[in-house]
Amino acid sequence: MNTKQSILKTATTTIKIESKAIAHLSELLTDDFADAVELIYHSKGRVIITGIGKSAIIANKIVATLNSTGTPAVFMHAADAIHGDLGLILEDDVVICISKSGNTPEIKVLVPLIKNANNKMIAITGNIDSFLGQQADFILNAYVAQEACPNNLAPTTSTTAQLVMGDALAVCLLELRGFSSKDFAKYHPGGALGKRLYLRVNDLSSQNQKPQVGLEASLKEVIVEITEKMLGVTAVVENDEIVGIITDGDLRRMLSKSDDLTALKAKDIMSNNPRRILEDAMAVDAKEVMEEFGISQLLVEHDGKYCGVVHLHDLIKEGII
For the chain, the three-class secondary structure string (H helix, E strand, C coil) is CCHHHHHHHHHHHHHHHHHHHHHHHHHHCCHHHHHHHHHHHHCCCCEEEEECCHHHHHHHHHHHHHHHCCCCEEEEEHHHHCCCHHHHCCCCCEEEEEECCCCCHHHHHHHHHHHHCCCCEEEEECCCCCHHHHHCCEEEECCCCCCCCCCCCCCCHHHHHHHHHHHHHHHHHHHHCCCCHHHHHHHCCCCHHHHHHHCEHHHHHCCCCCCEECCCCEHHHHHHHHHHHCCCEEEEEECCEEEEEEEHHHHHHHHHHCCCCCCCEHHHHCEECCCEEECCCEHHHHHHHHHHHCCCEEEEEECCEEEEEEEHHHHHHCCCC
Helix (H, G, I), strand (E, B), or coil: what is residue 201?
A: helix
Could you tell me where the DSSP H helices lie in 29-75? 31-42, 54-68
| Residue 77, annotated as binding a ligand | yes
Residues forming the annotated binding site for Zn(2+)?
77
Residues forming the annotated binding site?
77
